[in-house]
Amino acid sequence: MISVYPLNSPTASSSSSSFASFSLRQIRARQLFLPAPPNVPSGHDRQVVSYLKHKRRTIKNRGYALNCRVRRIQNHHQPATDDVLLRDQTVVSLQGWLQYYESSYSTFFNYSSRRL
């Protein structure tokens, strides 16, 4: 298939960010307003529509892939963050119990040493 418009071509009429949001019906309607590409035989409308559909799919796939990468990274780092938080809470709790028992033990030890 002949590529009618390259992706970076100035003849491409829409920016990539807004183009991904177009429906296929809007793309078909817009083909009426596109300039005819140079040196393309008649029947170029199907090629233009095919190119626009391909461009739209490519842009949407890139967005989907980016979202998947972000989600995978977040899911990978979230358990590690939760583990660190849980470890810190456990350490603080154990330090509190240690201080309680040390003070109880020292009180008991001081009381018993006075009785002897």
Give dist(CA 64, CA 71) in Å, integer: 11
User: How is residue 2 annotated by DSSP?
Assistant: -
Residue 19 has a CB neighbour count (10 Å cut-off) of 19
State yes or no: pLDDT of 43 exceeds 90: no
Scanning the structure block, which residue is given the tokens 């040196």?
A: 39
In the chain, the percentage of residues whose pLDDT exceeds 70 is 61
Give dist(CA 54, CA 19) in Å, integer: 11
Which structure tokens are listed for 58? 């490519």
State yes or no: pLDDT of 30 exceeds 90: no
pLDDT at 29: 66
pLDDT at 2: 42
Entry pTM: 0.38
